[in-house]
Amino acid sequence: MDYRTLGTSGLRVSAVGLGCNNFGIRCDLGETRAVVDKALDLGITLFDTADSYGRRGGSETLLGQILGSRRKEIILATKFGMAMDDEGTLKGASRWYIMTAVEASLRRLQTDWIDLYQLHRPDPATPIEETLRALDDLVQQGKVRYIGSSNFSGPQLIEADEAARRAKLHGFVSAQNEYSILRRAVEQDAIPAMVACGVSLLPYFPLASGLLTGKYRREDIPPGTRLATPRPHESAVLAGANWQLIDALDRYCRERDRSLLELAISWLLAKSVVASVIAGATKPEQLERNVSAARWSLTKDELADIDRLCALAGAPA
């Protein structure tokens, strides 16, 4: 396993991380334990969850029950900001809500500290300086080690960085945004902002909700797979799938005795701004495949080939 520094922080994270969004929904306690055990065996240290995962609290609760003394072996990342009640009153990034949310996450996770505490999405109702001041207090109190963002645009990342510097507060060291070979919009404004701010990217949906696993073909969605019974966002992914590009990438990999999964993960890790590729898993063998997939060191020529295939398929490169 390769390990990388997360932004300007002192955190070293595994190049392949574990996305914990399936825990409490697709995975029960026993299934979650099997995935967590395998992740630790493989050297995965970055575990990324959120208070909203697992039907509001389920993912954090299972991790808290399972980790025990192994908690200190990992970089535990969670998020706040999404609605935690039906009325929509428990959400956002105000000082009051942050102080409420962090205590709830600490209880569910059965830990005294969170290594990376991330705002799940921007909160237009709260000034960014108020959010940063509250998070800075949590760092000072030792409840949080570092802070990060998720789903911020380039201008929002710059605004947050400038606010932190101006007020001499801890700033974001990481940013979670959707990024894959099939979804490259983040390259236009967010990634340049991350580079300018010294922030590392933790791409989510690196396998495009499964389209880059190699399991799916244009007219062949295998029964029993995730996309056979898609959730709303996965239905949208299927409806907008660029099958011309997926087929071209698959052929490119087969010609080199590689897999589409290898390309998807290794292509992201070839980007210097990426610290870790967070991929979810419901079975231990999926984790083994993800870790093995990271071992393709793409050359400049191969990266240029991928850009060319994207352009030919009408996708931005």
Q: Do 307 and 60 touch, CB atoms closer than 8 A?
A: no
* CA distances to 127, 156, 185, 203, 207 from 189, in Å: 21, 10, 8, 15, 21
Residue 3 falls in the annotated catalytic set: no
| Catalytic, out of 3, 53, 146, 179 | 53
Token representation of residue 164 = 């932190």
Dist. CA 103–CA 116, nearest whole Å: 14
Polymer length of the chain: 317
Token representation of residue 29 = 């306690």
Strand locations in the chain (E) = 3-5, 12-14, 16-19, 46-48, 75-80, 114-119, 144-150, 172-176, 200-201, 277-280
Q: What is the DSSP letter of 69?
A: G
Which amino acids are annotated catalytic?
Answer: 53
